[in-house]
A and B are shown apart, each in its own frame.
Chain A
Amino acid sequence: MEALLASIAKNIFVIFGLLAVGGATAMVASRSAVHSVLAFLFAMLNIAGCFLALGAEFLGMAQILVYAGGIVVLFLFVVMLVEMAKGKETNKAVFTAQAKVAAPVVVAGAFAFLAVFKDTVFGASAAQALTLKPGLAEGLDVARNNAQAVSRGLFADYLLPFEVLSVILLVALVGAVVLAKTERV
């Protein structure tokens, strides 16, 4: 029993990963859109589990909040509204025609990408890619204090792009209103 638990703890990342892949497959394969969304939710929760297993608690929690909490609910709303408006429309043969061509192209593309960027993606420098600048990491155990490290990156180093991003979100809202509003003047 002890040994079994230990091996589970050791491979927890792989377990979550496989469950996520299962969820994603179920999402693509299921006939009903609502089932698809629920499978998507399952996959997202398992990806959050993967993050947690890797010690990235902040990312894991953000994943649950944003995807499981926000986006999936939004999807469900849309799916239900559309289904009510449209009734059932079965269109099974959407991807079958392209799949024969697309699958080899995607696989070949992935291999070409790996062949070209193998050194960079798996090279010596890859591990340091997302570390904080030394000045920002001062007095902070980055590995332990995930959320603090993210906040330092966001509000100290990348403050200006972050603020510009907030204006972009505002503009997107205004734009949606401008383009969707019916009456004017």
Chain B
Amino acid sequence: MNGFAAGLWESLVSGSKLIWPQIFLTFAATVMLWPADLFVEKARKHVWAPITMVILALTGALIYLTEPGVGFSDMYKVDGLTKGFQALIVLAAFLAVMLSQKLLDALREQTVEYYALILFSLVGMLTLVGATDLMTVYFSIELMAICIYILVAYLRDQNRGVEAGLKYFLLGAFSSGILLYGMSLVFAAVGGVTTNLAELNRLLPVVPQSSSLLVFSGVLMVLVGLCFKVAAVPFHMWSPDAYEGAPTPITAFMATAPKAAAMGAFLRVFGTGFAGVSSDWMLPLSYVAGASMILGNIAAVRQQTMKRLLAYSSIAHAGYMLLGVLGKGVDNAQAVWLYLLTYLVMNTGAFAVVIILQGKGEGERIDDFRGLAKRRPFLAFAMMMFLLSLAGIPPLVGFFGKFYLFKLAVESGLTTLVVIALVTSAISAFYYLGVVNQMYFKEPADLPEGAEPEVLSTGMTLIVGVTCVLTLVGTLAGPWLVNTMFRITWI
């Protein structure tokens, strides 16, 4: 008995070394909520934003320092994939917090809970990308999702926000149920002995004929659950409403961090766990990917508001990224990581511009961008770069990520899907350029009397400037990026 207890203690000690970032985040967020918040006056709640940024920077350092390893009875693994995606997620959260500060000040909605919930959702995401067991996958997805449901409905005085939060919550709870049911079917199909991904990969291809239907339905349900989290068609219904109703910084956060986490889980679950039964999920997933590209891009053409346009564009981008999951290999996972990194840069930049305009009571509708080039040349130029980059126009950084992903997809034999991706990319250029057209070639609807000087907060200028420069010259860092990318492995 003592031997058993000693073994437990030993595995706990060695396992906890792997999750220092999560332990630190949980601890920090809890202390922020209580008792630290008691010492901050009501009018000074905005100090939580810089504190959160410091915590996130420290988390990043902890992630960098974590040694690769496996722990918690093979339920969690730190490897190149884990660390790469964790870095992406922390970066996305950092940018989102930076974007939040001014907007929440303007709305007088600064609270410690907002920042604490971002940190808690991060705990879920960081665990999710390292999860090597279906149980860990499920619970960390739930943690991530519940925090984001609340953040979406954060501005609960606005009907739009509450509606978005409720819709997202109901659909999300439903999809979680499907995901969990799928997992239980997979668990039953292998004889109820394991939920570990590596073990499943060994057992799933050799299940008896009588259980093959069980495997098929289980894998398909897990696929549906994860597709919901990355907002792929036909499980995207929640995303335009949720994107529109959420506070804009949270929209920027949702478009990047949870997507990166869910993609990481997607790559790991389907790349390592269900790789042996790929004939079961390849066809459904390729339909999902194709439909996301087509519907996402075509529906975006008709949107009148900027946030909905970006929501549909993110659905289309999810479709592109699923090409990497379909490609299966480690190199495809690397391409998805690179794509997410470039997407993070340009998407955050675009949302930053929207937030700056929202501070002046505009920027919601695409019409608000009319004549922006005359009023605010710098913002208009930056926005143009982000949009062109999202469309994948060379030599901007978006093209770099897209090119690499599509090249690998062609090599994996997904020619039809790549053709669809290229055609829909051309369609996407149409609506992105439509916004550019509004900014550069249309007269402003009603120019305010007396040209207003460009007053921007330092933080926002910094974000727009840095992301714009990165979008412009990011391709030059290509060799370095590719080198970093090659560290993303799961072996």
Q: Which residues of A contact B (CB under 8 A)?
A: 116-117, 119-121, 123, 125-126, 128-130, 138-139, 155-161, 164-165, 167-168, 170-172, 174-175, 177-179, 184-185
A116 to chain B, nearest CB (A): 6
Q: Which residue of A lies closest to B150 (CB)?
A: A175
Contacts of B123 in A (CB 8 A): 164, 167
A128 CA / B108 CA spacing, docked (Å): 57
Say if the beta carbon of B192 comes within 8 Å of chain A: yes
Q: Which residue of B lies closest to A117 (CB)?
A: B214
B406 to chain A, nearest CB (A): 36
Per-residue interface assignment for chain B, residues 143 to 187, with 1 indicating a CB less than 8 Å from any chain A CB and 0 otherwise:
100110110011010000000010000000000000000000000
A179 CA / B123 CA spacing, docked (Å): 21
CB-defined A-B contacts under 8 Å, sample of 8: A119-B211, A139-B1, A156-B8, A158-B135, A164-B143, A171-B117, A179-B153, A184-B109
Does more than half of chain B's interface fall in helix, strand or loop, or is it mixed?
A: helix
Contacts of B191 in A (CB 8 A): 125, 128-129
Whether B146 and A184, one on each chain, are in contact in the complex, defined by CB atoms closer than 8 angstroms, is: no
Contacts of B42 in A (CB 8 A): 185
Q: Which residue of A lies closest to B124 (CB)?
A: A164
Contacts of A168 in B (CB 8 A): 139, 142-143, 146
A117 CA / B181 CA spacing, docked (Å): 13
Whether A138 and B109, one on each chain, are in contact in the complex, defined by CB atoms closer than 8 angstroms, is: no
Q: Contacting B211 at CB < 8 Å: which of A120, A155, A171?
A: A120
- 11 more A-B residue pairs beyond the given contacts A139-B4, A165-B139, A172-B146, with a C-beta to C-beta distance below 8 A: A117-B214, A129-B188, A161-B135, A168-B142, A168-B146, A174-B113, A174-B117, A175-B117, A184-B108, A185-B45, A185-B108
Whether B146 and A171, one on each chain, are in contact in the complex, defined by CB atoms closer than 8 angstroms, is: yes
Say if the beta carbon of B86 comes within 8 Å of chain A: no
Say if the beta carbon of B455 comes within 8 Å of chain A: no
Contacts of A159 in B (CB 8 A): 12, 15, 72-73
Q: Which residue of B lies closest to A118 (CB)?
A: B210
Contacts of A138 in B (CB 8 A): 4
Contacts of A155 in B (CB 8 A): 8
Contacts of B117 in A (CB 8 A): 171, 174-175, 178
A126 to chain B, nearest CB (A): 7
Whether A160 and B72, one on each chain, are in contact in the complex, defined by CB atoms closer than 8 angstroms, is: yes
B106 to chain A, nearest CB (A): 12
Whether A167 and B26, one on each chain, are in contact in the complex, defined by CB atoms closer than 8 angstroms, is: yes
Contacts of B76 in A (CB 8 A): 160
Interface size on B, residues (CB 8 A): 54
Q: Which residue of B lies closest to A119 (CB)?
A: B210
Whether B109 and A160, one on each chain, are in contact in the complex, defined by CB atoms closer than 8 angstroms, is: no
Q: Which residue of B lies closest to A157 (CB)?
A: B73
B250 to chain A, nearest CB (A): 13
Say if the beta carbon of B228 comes within 8 Å of chain A: no
A27 CA / B76 CA spacing, docked (Å): 44
Q: Contacting B214 at CB < 8 Å: which of A120, A171, A179?
A: A120
Contacts of B147 in A (CB 8 A): 171, 175
Q: Which residues 79-127 of B have a CB within 8 angstroms of A?
A: 108-111, 113-114, 116-117, 120, 123-124, 127
Whether B111 and A164, one on each chain, are in contact in the complex, defined by CB atoms closer than 8 angstroms, is: no
Say if the beta carbon of B239 comes within 8 Å of chain A: no
Say if the beta carbon of B140 comes within 8 Å of chain A: yes
Q: Contacting B30 at CB < 8 Å: which of A116, A165, A170?
A: A170
Per-residue interface assignment for chain B, residues 332 to 372, with 1 indicating a CB less than 8 Å from any chain A CB and 0 otherwise:
00000000000000000000000000000000000000000
B4 to chain A, nearest CB (A): 6
Whether A125 and B192, one on each chain, are in contact in the complex, defined by CB atoms closer than 8 angstroms, is: yes
Q: Which residue of A lies closest to B110 (CB)?
A: A185
A172 CA / B109 CA spacing, docked (Å): 20
Say if the beta carbon of B469 comes within 8 Å of chain A: no
Interface centre among A123, A139, A159 (most CB of B within 10 A): A159
Q: Which residue of A lies closest to B23 (CB)?
A: A163
A100 to chain B, nearest CB (A): 26
A55 to chain B, nearest CB (A): 19
Contacts of A129 in B (CB 8 A): 188, 191-192
Contacts of B192 in A (CB 8 A): 125-126, 128-130
Contacts of B140 in A (CB 8 A): 164
A47 CA / B266 CA spacing, docked (Å): 39
Contacts of A160 in B (CB 8 A): 15, 19, 72, 75-76, 127, 136
Say if the beta carbon of B189 comes within 8 Å of chain A: yes
Say if the beta carbon of B477 comes within 8 Å of chain A: no
A162 CA / B419 CA spacing, docked (Å): 45
B268 to chain A, nearest CB (A): 15
Contacts of B153 in A (CB 8 A): 179
Contacts of B149 in A (CB 8 A): 175
A165 CA / B127 CA spacing, docked (Å): 12
Q: Which residue of A lies closest to B111 (CB)?
A: A184
Say if the beta carbon of B213 comes within 8 Å of chain A: yes
Say if the beta carbon of B193 comes within 8 Å of chain A: yes
Say if the beta carbon of B43 comes within 8 Å of chain A: yes
Whether B193 and A161, one on each chain, are in contact in the complex, defined by CB atoms closer than 8 angstroms, is: no
Whether B213 and A116, one on each chain, are in contact in the complex, defined by CB atoms closer than 8 angstroms, is: yes
Contacts of B108 in A (CB 8 A): 184-185
Contacts of A158 in B (CB 8 A): 75, 135
Q: Contacting B113 at CB < 8 Å: which of A123, A177, A185?
A: A177
Contacts of A172 in B (CB 8 A): 146
Contacts of B198 in A (CB 8 A): none
Enumerate the 7 nearest inter-chain pairs by beta-carbon distance, A residue then B residue, closest first. Answer: A129-B192, A175-B150, A160-B72, A125-B191, A164-B139, A161-B139, A161-B135
Q: Which residue of B lies closest to A180 (CB)?
A: B156
Say if the beta carbon of B33 comes within 8 Å of chain A: yes
Contacts of B110 in A (CB 8 A): 185
Whether B136 and A161, one on each chain, are in contact in the complex, defined by CB atoms closer than 8 angstroms, is: yes
